[in-house]
Structure formats: structure tokens, C-alpha cells
Amino acid sequence: MLRIGHMGYTASINAMTNAIVALAKALNDLGYHVKIGDAIEAFLGGVGA
């Protein structure tokens, strides 16, 4: 489990999406198979965007 903190109401969906992309790329670099598109889709579905 991983929690990414944010700045509450001042954070934008764009900034949080960039954080998810960066995390997925880092996990891929470490050898974990992460489909970035699936990660973004799950994130956006979770935030209701």
C-alpha cells in the first residue's frame, strides 16, 4: 500500500495524474510491470473524474 499526500483543495487533477505517471515509471524501472494507462484509468475512476 502506498499513500501519496497532496495539498487538499489546492491540488489539481493534473498534478496528481503526473504523480501517478511518475510512480508507474519508477516501478517499471524497478522491474515491476505497470501499465501506465491502466494506472491512470484506475486513478481517475477513483477520484470521479
Select the more confidently predicted residue: 44 or 9.
44
Encode 13-44: b = buried (16+ Cβ within 10 Å), e = exposed: eeebbeebeebbeeeeeeeeeeeeeebeeebe
Predicted confidence at residue 31, as pLDDT, reads: 97
Is 2 inside any structural domain?
Answer: no
Kindly report the pTM of this predicted structure.
Answer: 0.73
R_g (Cα) of the chain, nearest Å: 11
Is 22 inside any structural domain?
Answer: yes
Is 3 inside any structural domain?
Answer: no
Whether the pLDDT of residue 29 is over 80: the answer is yes
**Grid cell listed for 2:** 502506498
The parent domain of residue 19 ranges over 13-26+33-49
Is 1 inside any structural domain?
Answer: no
Is 37 inside any structural domain?
Answer: yes
**For the chain, what is the domain count?**
1
